[in-house]
Structure 1
Amino acid sequence: MSKEGSPAIQVDGNGLRVVVIAAQWHEQIMTALVEGTQRALNEANVSEVSVVRVPGSFELSVAAARIARSKDAPDAIVALGVVIRGGTPHFDFVCTAATDGLNSVALETGIPVGFGLLTCDTEQQALDRSGLPGSSEDKGAEAAQAAIATVRALENWR
């Protein structure tokens, strides 16, 4: 189980502005990821949350880059998407591009990007990680918590 060894993160998002960027593919899974993210941000008392929807996981990087480089950049970004392996190399290309792109945004701008991109072999694996009732994990909430915790860990290093 991938959750084994994960830290228990307590976060205080008071005063923070967070943008959630979410893909639209796999509607049921994405709805659960967004809801888990919003719930975690609310529980952390994040002051301002905006949600931006993009077509798919490939588009997460360009949206994150535009938002992070804007004059009104948020304190953190949470990127959410789902890519499920199929019978072609498309899975590898999209996963690599989205992962590398989101990492580049964080490194180039210094704005933490919570990584909520599910890269799964099957739809069931994605459902199990989506935060739906009966799921073993809530990767949307985890990505939000990680983004806020990173902001707090780095706030003395502006």
Structure 2
Amino acid sequence: MIKGISFLRPAKTAADYGKLANFFSALGFTAGHGWDEPASRGASFLAPLANLEFVDGAMPSTADILVEVLHLDAVRETALTWLRSQVEGEADARITAIADTDWKSRTFTVTPIDGHSFTFWEWADPLKGKPVAVEGDLSAAGMRFAIVAARWNAVITERLLDGALDALLRSGAARRHIEIVRVPGAWEVAAAARTIADRVTPSRGPVDAIITLGCLIRGETAHYEAIYNEVARGIGQSQQETGIPHSFGVLTCETLEQALNRAGIKAGNKGFEAGVAAIEMVSLRRKLLESNSMDSNDREDA
């Protein structure tokens, strides 16, 4: 039955109201609906998790509103930058240094305007006893990629290609390390991807990941399903047998409108998502191989 918790903090003036709203926006809070009525207005900010806590004993030396974050140092730097842009000469006095607490956390307190203080904190041990997860990073620096893009349904695949390139370049990949291969249609994508995965030449060298892009739109026959099944099987088999990550950006849609929506109109760009997945899988693969190598060396030393 309980849906949510809201804490209301009155601002003394309209200027204070604007500054508080600007401060939380600068820190990256998601804006809620808020309200704007003749008698009052409210700026709402949302967080993924809210807690109502009661304390028996000594209260922690914090503000009465605590905000749990990840990357506390970066949050403090953002808050300090905001303060210096708003309260020249007083910024450093309105924010504390990051300090350890006796409840296994790190905190700092900031006062963006008089009468409104907030404590930001993160666990000193973010895992809190949970197993460490191995995950890929999203830096593409030094990685080599091949993009296999079908020409059929070019109005869609060109958008997917632009999205994939955007993801790679934004993440630090060098243009000279991105090879674009165009094939007639989705049917030919898997064969080209396998050739690239198997290829090692002095001029090109191996690629770290292959991004496959295409678009299949259902017609009035079973042709669509027959092609899709073989394309998916071929790309998956190439990845499994060569060990080189293949990200899947082949759209399978009922209509042209659905395809356009998934190529950047309404539902994001699946080419961009395929590019991000390729970067993460290259990073993850390197970490796993490095871990295997270290485990092997430890066994030999033993």
Q: Give the Cα–Cα distance (whole angstroms) in 2 for the partners of residues 121 and 85 of structure 1.
A: 5
- Please say if 1:12 is aligned against 2:12: no
User: Residue 220 of structure 2 aligns to which amino acid in structure 1?
Assistant: G
1:140 Cα shift? 0.2
- Please tell me the residue identity of whatever aligns with 2:162: E
Give 2:159's aligned residue: 32
Match of 1:117 among 247, 250, 255: 250
Residue in 2 that maps onto 1:77: 210
Q: CA deviation at 1:30?
A: 1.0
Out of 64, 68, 89, the position equivalent to 2:222 is 89
Kindly provide the amino acid, as one letter, of the partner of residue 274 in structure 2: A
Partner SS state of residue 137, structure 1: coil
| Structure 1: 5+ residue stretches without partners | 1-8
- Aligned-partner SS, 2:191: helix
Shift of 1:128: 0.3
Q: Give percent identity, aligned residues only.
A: 37
**Residue deviations 1:92-119 (CA, integer Å, cap 9, x gap):** 0110010000000100001000100000
- Opposite residue 218 of structure 2, the aligned amino acid is R
The yes-or-no answer on 1:56 pairing with 2:198 is no
Structure 1 segment 117-136 matched on structure 2, within 5 A: 117-131=250-264, 134-136=265-267
Deviations 1:33-67 (A, max 9, x none): 00001011100111311100000000001000000
Q: What is the TM-score normalised by the length of structure 2?
A: 0.48
Is this contact kept in 1: 2:137–2:284, CA < 8 A? no
SS at match of 1:73: coil
For 1:92 and 1:53, the matched residues in 2 are separated by: 22
For the residue of structure 1 that corresponds to 2:252, the secondary structure is strand
Task: Name 1:155's counterpart in structure 2.
Answer: 286
1:111 partner letter? I
Tell me: higher relative CO, structure 1 or 2? Use CA pairs within 8 A at least 6 residues apart: 1
1:67 is matched with 196
Secondary structure of the corresponding residue to residue 173 of structure 2:
coil
What is the letter of the counterpart of residue 194 of structure 2? Answer: A
Aligned equivalent of 1:44, options 143, 165, 171: 171
What stretches of structure 2 of length at least 5 have no aligned partner? 1-135, 290-302
Q: Which moved more, 1:142-151 or 1:9-18?
A: 9-18
CA drift of 1:129 comes to: 0.4
Classify the secondary structure of the residue corresponding to 1:92.
helix
Q: Give runs of ≥4 in structure 1 deviating > 4 Å.
A: none
1:146 and 2:277 are equivalent in the alignment: yes
Query: Is contact 2:137-2:279 (8 Å) kept?
Result: no
Q: 2:129 matched to which residue of 1?
A: none
Separation (CA, whole Å) in 2 of partners of 1:89 and 1:10:
40
- In structure 2, C-alpha distance between the alignment counterparts of 1:73 and 1:81, rounded to whole Å: 23
Letter in 1 for 2:145: V
Count of aligned residue pairs for this structure pair: 148
**Structure with larger Rg:** 2
Q: Shift of residue 137 of structure 1?
A: 1.4
What's the RMSD between the two structures over aligned residues?
1.2
For 1:37, give the aligned amino acid.
A
